[in-house]
Structure 1
Amino acid sequence: MKEKNSFGERDREVTERRLLDTIEKMVIENGFEKIGVNAVAAQSGVSKILIYRYFGSVDGLMAAYIRQHDFWINFPVEVLDREQLPGFLKKMFRGQIEQLRSNPTLKRLYRWELSSGNDMIVKLREQREKIGVNLIEKVCELTDYPRKEIEVMASMLTASITYLVMLEEFCPVFNGIAINQDSGWEQIGQGIDALVDKYFKNGGDER
């Protein structure tokens, strides 16, 4: 009986993977606006019944793709010590840029998420919020900096990165920065590095 269940679980994993791969392909080729359960079933070769059973809906399938690839939902909050904090934060923000720029499906589904407010999207946002708050708390513990300041700094940087990455397909230049070019993003990365160093005094000085 256990062996049978194991095969059943493996079959489900394979099917879910096929559906997630199908969503990725469809979003890249046609965007998210025209995706429906019939089209997903036809392209994946998976019955609509299984789509509903495993994901609840096509929206649930797209939300599952975001959850699997989202930088913050999958971020391991392991802040080191005060001296290493600036380097940790610089690497973190550059990681967000790299991960989101390298995944065109995720960029487009973020735009879909902005226009959605269903329960699955609410849960995604709650997951991100929990991780973000946890990270902010750890930074405050290490630095004794005011929480209100850290919250604003974190919000401005993470939201700006997400917005600019989503925008680069439609707007090649933003405030003189070529956001559709690697050189432009390197400029942004260096600017974030400078902000982190200035705010945290290179990780060593007292405020």
Structure 2
Amino acid sequence: MERKSAAGSIRNKERSKKKFLDAVGKILKTKGYAALKINDIAATAGVDKKMIYTYFGGMDGLMDEYVRSQDYWVKVTSEEVEKMKPLADDGGRAFIETMLLSQFDYVYTNKEAQKLLLWSISEPRKSLKKLIDTQEENGEYIFKLMMESHFKDNMEVYRSIMAIMVSGLYYLNMFASVNGSIFCGIDVNTPEGRKNIKKAVSFMVDQTYENLNDQQEE
């Protein structure tokens, strides 16, 4: 009976934690980050606000766990990358193309991720700084594992190209969601428009690898 009671307590804790995390997402999507107050989160979750301190250690802990659950690049951990190590033989070419295209789709379909991106450039907050630091740590691991030995002296150029591509794809999705879907004549909210953006991503990845490789061979 004690084992069942302990198991039930764990399940209740996980359910309550999920309710809090879902509540953060709901408020973020409908009212924006300025409305993320502890009383409102507890009311939306239908759980006593004291449990936020019990389960997360407070508001910052809750926000830390929430942002980790939503950001695309935070989920690309070193453990996940290790599983893809065979792809490193091409200098990470196939890997980075897949990641960029997946990021493009993930942010488009995840309104909470879009709100997090807007929040991260609008307001300083510890949990958001941790998000950015984790993104950088994961990105650095990928660069060192797959690309650094491949590009050598051209690595800084490669990093700069990737910075432009990642941020550009983020912006296109947020722009299409908030203020309109037409950007440079491409409707980012249509299947055809998104298909063309993806073709452009593949083209830019190909050109990056081909041109930087040619420079190294000269």
For structure 1, list consecutive stretches of 5 or more residues without a partner in the other structure: none
1:159 maps to what in 2?
167
Deviation at 1:56, TM superposition (A): 4.6
1:43-192 map, 5 Å: 43-58=44-59, 60-75=61-76, 76-77=80-81, 78-79=84-85, 80-83=87-90, 85-137=92-144, 138-144=146-152, 146-168=154-176, 169-192=178-201
Tell me the TM-score normalised to structure 1 length: 0.86
Equivalent position amino acid for 2:171 in 1: Y
Label 1:59 to 1:177 Cα distance change in 2 as closer, same or farther (>3 A). Answer: farther
TM-score of the superposed pair, with normalisation by structure 2: 0.82
Runs of 4+ deviating beyond 6 Å: none
Tell me if the contact between 1:82 and 1:143 (Cα under 8 Å) persists in the aligned partners.
no
Shift of 1:167: 1.4
Q: Which residue of 2 aligns with 1:40?
A: 41
Deviations 1:100-123 (A, max 9, x none): 111111111221222232222221
After superposition, the Cα gap between the structure-2 partners of 1:5 and 1:194, relative to the gap in structure 1 and judged at 3 Å, is same
Which of the numbers 190, 196, 206 marks the counterpart of 1:197? 206
- In the alignment, which residue of structure 2 is the partner of 1:13? 14
How far apart are residue 7 of structure 1 and its match? 4.2
Change (3 A) 1:200 1:51: same
Q: Does 96-105 or 173-182 show the bigger shift?
A: 173-182
Whole-angstrom distance in 2 between the partners of 1:193 and 1:48: 47
Q: Provide the secondary structure at the position in 2 that maps to 1:180.
A: coil
State the one-letter code of the partner of 2:25: E
Question: Which moves more between the two structures, 78-87 or 174-183?
Answer: 78-87
- Structure 2: tracts of 5 or more residues without a match: none
Mapped contact 1:140–1:150 kept (Cα < 8 A): no
- Please list the CA deviations of residues 75-94 of structure 1 after superposition, one character each: whole Å capped at 9, or x if unmatched: 13234133373222211110
* Count of aligned positions: 207
Q: Please identify which structure carries the higher helix content.
A: 2
Counterpart secondary structure, 2:75: coil
Tell me how large the CA RMSD over aligned residues is: 2.6
Amino acid at match of 1:140: E
* Secondary structure at 2:116 match in 1: helix
